[in-house]
Amino acid sequence: MLELLPVDLANPLAIMPDLEAAISGECALLPVPANDPTRADKLRVSMRAGQSIADEIAVVVATSGSTGTPKGAQLTPVNLISSADATHQALGGPGQWLLAMPAHHIAGLQVLVRSMVAGVEPEFVDLTDGFHTSDFVARAETLAATGDRMYTSLAPMQLNKIMSTLAGIEALRLFDAILVGGGRINPKMLDSAAKLRINVVTTYGSSETSGGCVYDGRPIAGAHVRVRDGRIHLGGPMIAHGYRNLPDHEAFSEPGWFITSDAGELTDGTLTVNGRLDNLIETGGLKLQPELLEEFMLTLDGVTGACVVGVPDDRFGHRICAAYSGSAELGDLLEAFDGLPRWQVPKDLRHFRTIPTTGPGKPDRRAVATVFAGDA
């Protein structure tokens, strides 16, 4: 039977005994946010908590589900442990972990699993009232006193916030590696981190792959990557056993592989993720992956946020529209666009005070498109 596992942001370590029991094959768990009853109830219903489930499943982890019903990735003990072992191998060995992400999400849950594998109890940041750099700094200093290797996992927005203070920068330098994923990372932030001697490891993966399985563009031990017709496929022992609430989903049509919704390229074994296929903009018979144009915009001085969308257009099919935030002037961006192919230059470019988001650093394309379409 699939059992509910409420996760309290103020005390996430309380679930570790239950998580250990699940990994030992004693039960199957559905982590839900104790601090968000509406979300928890939605997951309870959609994932059929309280009903029977295959014996080999340890946990069901929901996808973000920012729109529609979230999908529930069914993860086995082998999935979770193989991912944790491969992570430690990639980073240079087991160590102490700092949990700074909600533990009902795969990124946070895997911090707990890695800690179990390493035989340590992690430190954690209380996220009840949001993420605060001062709390992160204090917990990092506590870990540093152990003298062991130190790791943490962050969202891009968390990393950016911590790097905005001197105390935060010093704390980040204490870690042997900082895993950053869950969204595209501003290339300027990565460059700044490198100059500040902060070891950021970019990760690519999802609940369906037990968390990140590609680090800095290279698959971790046991993971496999292939690209077919421009679509990224991920394979290996960390791949989920399908979805709890969508058992015949085409993403798991080939055993041991997860067919993502992302476009990418493989060059000499290194994966480049271009963006989500459903974000693709068709304009004038050509196709633009908006994330690539956004990444270009984020390299420009004075640009702190970017979102590129396609708005229906009688002549082009869709016209490319771009929103940006920051101190840059429109003229600065238009001048920078001179180096791009003409068809990629936005037909409409506007400054937003802030870019709407649907999650940690993920632009709300629907909201931005509505603004452009409303003024058409």
| CATH (domain of 231) | 3.40.50.12780
Give the chain's domain count: 2
On whether the CB atoms of residues 310 and 318 are closer than 8 A, the answer is: yes
Q: Which pLDDT does position 371 carry in this prediction?
A: 93
Q: For Cα atoms 150, 19, 155, give the angle at the middle one, nearest 5 degrees.
A: 45
For residue 359, what is the domain's CATH number? 3.30.300.30
Q: Which pLDDT does position 65 carry in this prediction?
A: 55
In the chain, pLDDT over 70 holds for what percent of residues? 98
CA–CA gap between residue 236 and residue 124 (Å, rounded): 30
The helix, strand and coil proportions of the chain, stated in percent and rounded to the nearest 5, come to 35, 30, 35
Residues 6+ apart with CB under 8 A from 359: 64, 66, 182, 183
Kindly report the three-state secondary structure assignment for every residue of 276-288: EHHHCEEECCEEE
Of 173-177, 245-249, 290-294, 364-368, the range with the highest mean pLDDT is 173-177
CA–CA gap between residue 261 and residue 212 (Å, rounded): 15
On whether the CB atoms of residues 213 and 237 are closer than 8 A, the answer is: no
On whether the CB atoms of residues 168 and 162 are closer than 8 A, the answer is: yes
CA–CA gap between residue 180 and residue 188 (Å, rounded): 14
Looking at the structure, do residues 221 and 284 belong to the same domain, yes or no?
A: no
Identify the domain boundary among 273, 292, 307: 273
On whether the CB atoms of residues 288 and 344 are closer than 8 A, the answer is: yes
Looking at the structure, do residues 234 and 348 belong to the same domain, yes or no?
A: no
CA–CA gap between residue 376 and residue 368 (Å, rounded): 13
Residues 6+ apart with CB under 8 A from 354: 305, 325
Closest CA to 191 of 166, 159, 213: 159
**Measured on CA atoms in the order 105, 55, 50, 14, is the torsion positive or negative?**
negative
> Is the pLDDT score of 351 beyond 80?
yes
CA–CA gap between residue 319 and residue 162 (Å, rounded): 37
Q: Which pLDDT does position 200 carry in this prediction?
A: 98
Q: Which pLDDT does position 360 carry in this prediction?
A: 61
Q: In angstroms, what CA-CA distances link 257 with 151, 225, 226, 242, 254?
A: 28, 9, 10, 10, 6
Looking at the structure, do residues 45 and 140 belong to the same domain, yes or no?
A: yes
Looking at the structure, do residues 286 and 367 belong to the same domain, yes or no?
A: yes
Per-residue pLDDT, averaged over 249-269, amounts to: 95
Q: For Cα atoms 21, 127, 275, give the angle at the middle one, nearest 5 degrees.
A: 85
Q: Which pLDDT does position 68 carry in this prediction?
A: 67
Phi, psi of 190 (to 5 degrees): -65, -40
Looking at the structure, do residues 211 and 266 belong to the same domain, yes or no?
A: yes
Tell me the two tokens of residue 1. Answer: 């039977």
Residue 361 binned pLDDT confidence (cut-offs 50, 70, 90): low
Identify the domain boundary among 220, 244, 273: 273
Q: For Cα atoms 109, 53, 105, give the angle at the middle one, nearest 5 degrees.
A: 15
| pLDDT tens profile 293-305 | 999 999 999 999 9
Residue 349 binned pLDDT confidence (cut-offs 50, 70, 90): very high
Count of C-beta atoms within a 10 Å radius of residue 126: 15
Per-residue pLDDT, averaged over 224-242, amounts to: 97
Phi, psi of 176 (to 5 degrees): -70, -30
Looking at the structure, do residues 146 and 264 belong to the same domain, yes or no?
A: yes
Looking at the structure, do residues 188 and 231 belong to the same domain, yes or no?
A: yes
Looking at the structure, do residues 295 and 251 belong to the same domain, yes or no?
A: no
Tell me the two tokens of residue 22. Answer: 């699940």
Q: Which pLDDT does position 325 carry in this prediction?
A: 94
On whether the CB atoms of residues 371 and 323 are closer than 8 A, the answer is: yes
Per-residue pLDDT, averaged over 10-27, amounts to: 97
Looking at the structure, do residues 110 and 259 belong to the same domain, yes or no?
A: yes
Which range marks the domain in which residue 160 is found? Answer: 2-273
How high is the mean pLDDT of the chain? 94
> Is the pLDDT score of 252 beyond 90?
yes
Q: Which pLDDT does position 358 carry in this prediction?
A: 78
| pLDDT tens profile 82-132 | 999 999 999 999 999 999 999 999 999 999 999 999 999 999 999 999 999
Looking at the structure, do residues 197 and 81 belong to the same domain, yes or no?
A: yes
Q: Which pLDDT does position 134 carry in this prediction?
A: 97
Looking at the structure, do residues 245 and 338 belong to the same domain, yes or no?
A: no
Identify the domain boundary among 273, 290, 320: 273
Half-sphere exposure of 293 toward its Cβ, with a 13 Å CA cutoff? 27
Residue type (1 letter), 229? D
Instruction: With H, G, I as helix, E, B as strand and everything else as coil, classify residue 233.
Output: strand
| pLDDT tens profile 278-287 | 899 999 899 9
CA–CA gap between residue 125 and residue 329 (Å, rounded): 38
Looking at the structure, do residues 259 and 285 belong to the same domain, yes or no?
A: no
